[in-house]
């Protein structure tokens, strides 16, 4: 009888503790963190949406005729837009399939695809293959990187300016105005968000 009462008491305590912890940590903590995020960092907390809900500043996009950004020669780049780096996430920048190709640097398929991309980009931009930056032909580990290097953006300036009938210097200045510095001043490299740059380009013309 005593053991039964002890078991019942222990069970009741465990249930009460679970309910209290659920309310405090599952509900209360969530509401507090959500409230702080909405109060102090609403743009980031809501997914960093771009203007007119044209995607998120945190997830890359494709600017090709097929709507995909696999980075192969089959994708026709829209010449009036700056192009993103390749993506191995699903059909390209698929947020539900984040990931890289997991191919080693000496994998023959990866080597061949990089050579194919480099040749295609060199022809598109009117430069030698050696002038094509590494990020133009390789996907990021997540496959969702929204940024490209400053070098890759500047490489595309003449083409974009020509397609839009704009002075090359004007487009170059727009690119330079969108450069994001290193995190904390020393981590990573300077970079440019492609979607934000293309939106700024459209707004400038509009």
Write the pLDDT tens digit of every residue in 119-128. Answer: 999 999 999 9
Choose among 82, 60, 62, 71: nearest CA to 137: 71
Residue 45 is predicted with a pLDDT of 81
Do both 146 and 201 map to the same domain? yes
pLDDT band at 18 (very low <50, low <70, confident <90, very high): very high
Its pTM surpasses 0.85? no
**Total tally of structural domains belonging to the chain:** 2
49 forms beta bridges with 56
Do both 30 and 86 map to the same domain? no
Do both 31 and 58 map to the same domain? no
Q: Among 2-6, 26-30, 64-68, 71-75, which range has the highest average pLDDT?
A: 26-30
Mean pLDDT of the chain: 88
The range of the structural domain enclosing residue 21 comes to 2-45
Answer yes or no: are the C-beta atoms of 71 and 124 closer than 8 Å.
Answer: no
Do both 94 and 182 map to the same domain? yes
Do both 173 and 89 map to the same domain? yes
| Percent of the chain whose pLDDT exceeds 70 | 94
Do both 143 and 196 map to the same domain? yes
Do both 10 and 103 map to the same domain? no
Answer yes or no: are the C-beta atoms of 125 and 156 closer than 8 Å.
Answer: yes
Do both 149 and 196 map to the same domain? yes
> What is the distance between the alpha carbons of residues 205 and 38, in angstroms, rounded to a whole number?
33
Do both 186 and 119 map to the same domain? yes
Do both 41 and 58 map to the same domain? no
Do both 183 and 104 map to the same domain? yes
Choose among 161, 160, 135: nearest CA to 147: 135
């Amino acid at each position: 009888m005593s053991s039964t009462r002890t078991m019942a008491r222990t069970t009741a305590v465990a249930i009460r503790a679970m309910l209290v912890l659920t309310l405090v940590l599952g509900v209360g903590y969530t509401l507090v963190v959500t409230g702080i995020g909405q109060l102090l960092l609403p743009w980031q907390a809501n997914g960093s949406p771009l203007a007119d809900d044209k995607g998120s500043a945190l997830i890359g996009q494709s600017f090709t005729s097929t709507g995909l950004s696999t980075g192969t020669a089959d994708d026709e780049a829209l010449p009036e837009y700056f192009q993103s780096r390749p993506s191995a996430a699903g059909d390209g920048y698929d947020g539900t399939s984040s990931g890289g190709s997991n191919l080693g640097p000496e994998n023959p398929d990866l080597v061949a695809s990089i050579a194919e991309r480099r040749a295609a980009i060199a022809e598109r931009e009117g430069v030698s293959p050696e002038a094509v930056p590494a990020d133009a032909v390789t996907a990021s580990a997540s496959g969702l990187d929204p940024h490209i290097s400053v070098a890759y953006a500047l490489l595309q300036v003449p083409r974009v300016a020509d397609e839009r009938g704009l002075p090359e210097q004007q487009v170059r200045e727009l690119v330079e105005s969108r450069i994001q510095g290193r995190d904390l001043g020393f981590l990573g490299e300077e970079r440019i968000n492609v979607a934000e740059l293309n939106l700024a380009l459209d707004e400038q013309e509009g």
